[in-house]
Amino acid sequence: MNKNIVGAVLTLVVVAGCGKSDPPVGAGAASAPVSAASGAGAPVSVASVRAEKRDYDVQLEATGTVTPLNSVDVKPQVASVVTKVHIREGQFVKAGEPLFTLDARADEANVSKAQAQLQKDLASLADAQRQLTRSQELFAQNFISQGAVDTNQALVDSQKAVVAADRAAIEAARVGLSFSRIVAPSAGRAGAIGIFPGSSVQPGGAPLVTITQLDPIAVSFNLPQRNLDDALQALRSGGGSVNAVLPEGRGKLTGKLQFVDNSVDASSGTVKVKAVFDNKDQQLWPGAFVNVRLAVQTLKDAIVVPQAAIVQGLRGKVVFVVEPGNTAGVRPVEVVTAAGTEAVVTGVRAGERVVTDGRQNLRPGVAVIERAAEAAGGTGRRGASAPIEGGAVAAKAPAASGGLP
């Protein structure tokens, strides 16, 4: 019994000794990089772009609705029947171009009747004037009294008034006749046409057609109350520059600010603004939504970096930069303005290489090795990568706690 116990103890001692002297295969290979990374400080792979110094337009962004400057519902002014339609749906028309012709026979008869009455009254006026002339000659020869002459004069004056009334009646009849010829009140594109020759129309009925002006065209959008002064300043300076960005990457149009409303909407805290754009290619269509960017200020010689490079640290915003010795440096920054993928900051010099990818593994003084910005997912817009030393990219080192200032 004692021999068995002693044998077991000796076996355990031998196995333990073998474990210390001969490690398992692969154990040393797995621990070597960790030891090297923790002791030697392996370079961190990063991507960077250079901070740019250029003029930067401060823009306000909003969602706008395309609205026509002029849209007219064409309706008849008299009850009648359509005899001819001169246009097609979707046709572009000029101001004064004929659109519809209505049955004008009754109005033509009224004009003829008024003209005939005028001829009758003109003949009566001519007779009254002859009577006045004759009475004046007889009065000069003392054959009639002054009262007879005055009576004839009153008759002439009365007949002149009747003739004037006849001429006014003719003009009124011609106005009614003109209603039978409906023309375009302004230039634009014709909408849907729901009537045909023989259709009966009424002044209070549905529009015969809608004429909408497409060039130029407006975009209406709302700005927060805090940006009211910026919009008014842009309006006073001639309208500023307003960009309408078309959806699905179909480009953008540049116009000018034309209108700022005279009150702020109390329910939303916004003010209505309108900009005008040339629309010869009809890229803007009434009712469509577009993204609007209003340039309210230009910052001269601003330092521009990607927004992706800005890190929120314990003491504020910072960016990591690649120092001349290929080590990581940190720069406290203040964001002046930001829009899209870019930000204007202070605290960085023009030309410094700002880290856009891999910054989560950085701390000041850590060695870095750069890779192409495209390989990092295209985070840099025009980033110039430094040459890679040694022809290899080292593995990322674990992030150290307290790396951000």
pLDDT tens digits for 108-118?
999 999 999 99
Q: Within 10 Å of residue 355's Cβ, how many Cβ atoms?
A: 28
Say how far apart CA 356 and CA 324 lie, in whole Å: 17
Say how far apart CA 178 and CA 23 lie, in whole Å: 109
Find residue 212's DSSP bridge partners. Answer: 71, 189
Q: What is the pTM of this model?
A: 0.61
Find residue 302's DSSP bridge partners. Answer: 54
Q: What is the pLDDT of residues 282-332, one digit of tens each?
A: 999 999 999 998 888 788 999 999 999 999 888 899 999 999 889 999 999
Q: Which domains does the chain have, with CATH numbers?
A: 41-55+300-391 (2.40.420.20), 60-69+212-299 (2.40.30.170), 76-102+182-211 (2.40.50.100), 104-179 (1.10.287.470)
Say how far apart CA 128 and CA 202 lie, in whole Å: 45
Question: Which pLDDT value is given to residue 80?
Answer: 94
Find residue 62's DSSP bridge partners. Answer: 292
The dihedral formed by the CA atoms of 126, 132, 137 and 142, expressed in degrees to the nearest 10: 160
Find the distance separating the first CA and the last CA of the chain, reported in whole Å. 68
Question: Which pLDDT value is given to residue 230?
Answer: 86
Question: Which pLDDT value is given to residue 75?
Answer: 95
Q: Give, to the nearest 10 degrees, the angle between helix 105-140 and helix 146-178.
A: 170
Question: Which pLDDT value is given to residue 372?
Answer: 66
Three-state DSSP at 224 gives strand
Task: Please name the amino acid found at residue 62.
Answer: A
DSSP at 238: T
DSSP at 185: S
Cβ atoms of 290 and 64 within 8 Å: the answer is yes
Task: Give the rounded percent of residues in the chain with a pLDDT score beyond 90.
Answer: 62
Question: Which pLDDT value is given to residue 400?
Answer: 37
Task: Please name the amino acid found at residue 313.
Answer: G
Positions in the chain whose pLDDT score sits under 50: 1-40, 373-403, 405
Task: Please name the amino acid found at residue 181.
Answer: R
Question: Which pLDDT value is given to residue 41?
Answer: 62
Find residue 181's DSSP bridge partners. Answer: 101
DSSP at 326: S
Find residue 64's DSSP bridge partners. Answer: 290
The dihedral formed by the CA atoms of 256, 261, 262 and 265, expressed in degrees to the nearest 10: -150
Kindly tell me the sign of the dihedral angle through the C-alpha atoms of 156, 162, 163, 165: positive
